[in-house]
Each structure stands twice: as structure tokens, then as C-alpha cells.
Chains A and B, each alone.
Chain A
Amino acid sequence: MDLAKDEKLPGNNLHVSRKIDYFPYIPPLFITLILLVGQITFGILDSYINVIISIATSIIAEVLLARLILGTHKNLASAYITGISVGILVRSNMVWPYVIAALLSILSKYVIRYKGRHLWNPSNFGVSWLLFMAPLSVAGLGIQWGNNLLPMAVIWLLGLGIVYRAKKLHVTLTYVTCFVILAYVRSLITSDPFLAELAPLTGPMYQLFIFFMITDPGTSVSGKRAQIVVVIIVAIVEFILRLESFIYAPFYALFLVGPVARFIDLKQNKSQTIANQTNEARQN
């Protein structure tokens, strides 16, 4: 999630400028805005407690793991976004899925690493795992949002502005374009109405996915062209999963494609690896 990830965070960045860069704080504010708009306007949350628990779990895990494993202090914006995403996306009548999803998300960053970098988008990992492996206890945010276009339009405009500022607009636009085209193809294949295939794009699950998961710099590949190729592959895998009736197809598609692309990218891109290792060495 994590437009505010490792590379751009103050105190955690080789390229930080001398001017104070406030942009890393924008994504956490934006996801908080989505939560607040959703909650105040429609009551998107079933319980504040679950979100608080998942945020707290993420932050505590991040603080401890960064200190004990990397020997550093990390900016907590990323953990905050992970926690809030888990709190919104996971739906359960019990508390433990929120704790475990948040823990798995953060742990994945420290456990599954290649050349000093993590491979999965943290919340994509935690949420996908629970949705797939714990269906008797967990469902996802998929069938709730309001009946008003205005809040959705505001979130889309703000989100597009932020990913533009983060230089990830091409990722978002490519994905949305692919989704719309493939929705049309699906409607031809399934004979379902095009609007039914397009409908998920109007829900909050996709807003979190589009603005926070697929644009995550921490798990993106290098180079604009490569990023576009990867997001097209994500959209195609999602298309296939949708034809197989996977409700949480976008999460699963990113779960499958993202780390493979990231692994190949890290394997090929030596300079980035060296920079990252240097960065970690400085932090340590």
C-alpha cells in the first residue's frame, strides 16, 4: 500500500532532498479520508474496534520487527496504511482475523525478502491469505458502498491526483483501461450485462486496490514500461480468475503476479539492489 514506502520516507531514503518532503504523509491521509468518507456517509465499517486493532497490530509489529530484525526505526506510515487497509477490507464477526491479517501482512515484509527487498504488497498478502484460506471466518469488502456518486467521484479525483504526484498514474490508468476492456470481453463471453462486469470498479474495494495496492512503490518493478506490462498481466490474470468466479480476483491476481514480477526485476536490476543494500547498511 504503500505509496509512502521505504524509498520515499524521510530518514529512510537515499534520495531525500534537503527540502522537507511532505508527500509521504499524503497517502496515509488519503486512506484515512476514504475511511472517514465511507464511515460518515455510509457507515462502511461494521466496527471501529476492528480497524483500531488492525492498525495497532500493524504498527506494533512494524516497530518491533524493524528494530529487532533490521535494527532501525521505520516511518510508520506504511504500517498505518497496511492496518487501515486490513481493517476495511477484511470482514469478520471475530477479532482474530484482523490481528492475524495485520500480523501476516507486516511479517511478510520481513520474512519473504529477496536481495534485501520484500516481494509482496503487505496487505495484499495478509488479506489474500485469509480470504483464500479462512473462508469460514473471513469475507472481504465487496458488496458495500453507498448509492451516491459524489463521494466516489471525490475519492477518484483525489486518488488520481495522488498517484499522479507519486508518478504512478500510468499504472492506475493502465489497470483501469484494461479492466474496462476486459469487462467488455467478459460480458461477450458470459453474456452478462456489461454494466454488471463493470460494476465492481465502482466499489470501495477497487479504490483501495487501484490507489494503494497496485501502485505500491515498495513492490513495484523498475521502469515505467515494465510497470505497465506488469499491471496488464495483473489485469489479465484477474480476468481469468473472474471467469472462474473468484470474487476476490484482483487481490489474488496481484498476489500471484506481483511477487514474480518483483523477483525477476530484482534479479535483473543490479543497480537498484546495490542501492537498496547500501540504504539498509546505512540504516543499520
Chain B
Amino acid sequence: MFKAIAGFALGFILALCACSRQKTLTTDEIRSQLLSAKSLAAETEMFLDYVRENRATKHYAQGHIEYLTEEIERSREELQESSPAQGEEDAVRKLRTQFDALQAELHSIRGKLDDEAALAAAKEHLASIRQALDEANSSI
């Protein structure tokens, strides 16, 4: 029984290691972070359209933007605590810049979810962030 429990515990630890942060970012991990940032930007764009069409309740819109912001902050922190593999410094720098821009955008629209002009402007900014991320991805 001890062996069975020890095996299960070892598996748990391995799982936690898999979820834990990496110290050095490989090219694959940078690409994965880029995809994640791009996905968050695209999702926010899609959601802003949903809000503009008045299909989200006020609390839902506020809450969802909070959760998206949390996701962005988590990825941003993960990125800041890691160092890029040799030769990938430029891509990581671009990625950090875009995460910062994404975070700033979400912070700024949090209080303006009923302001049509602000939402339209935010959508444009998000599209340009997505484009910059595409460029960074192709440079890896």
C-alpha cells in the first residue's frame, strides 16, 4: 500500500512540476506564450463586440474583463520570472511589450464598458497588438 501511495504522490509532484514555472524559456515555450497572448487579444476583441451589441449584463461584462486581465497578468508574471533561451531575447522583449500593452488596454476599458467610442478605440488597439504578436511569431 505504501508503494501505491508513494507512486500516486510522486505523480502529483510530477504534475505540479509540469504546472510550475520554467526558469529558461525554450523557443517552443515562447511560441506558446505568443499564441496565448494573441488568443487573449482576439478573445477581448470578440467580447467587446458582444458588449457593444448589448448582449452582456453589466456584472458579467465587468467580471469577464477582470478574469481576462488576471489571465494576462499571470502570463506576464510568468514571462517576467523566466529568462529567454540564447538568441530569443528579441522575441521575448517584443512579447513582454505586447503583454504590457494588452494589460494596459484592459485596465483602461474596465471602467468604460458603456462608452461606445472607447470600446471602438480599444478594439483597434487590440487588433494592432495582435498584428505585432504575429510579427514577433514570424521572427522566431
A and B held together in a complex: no
Task: Give the interface of A toward B (CB within 8 A).
Answer: none
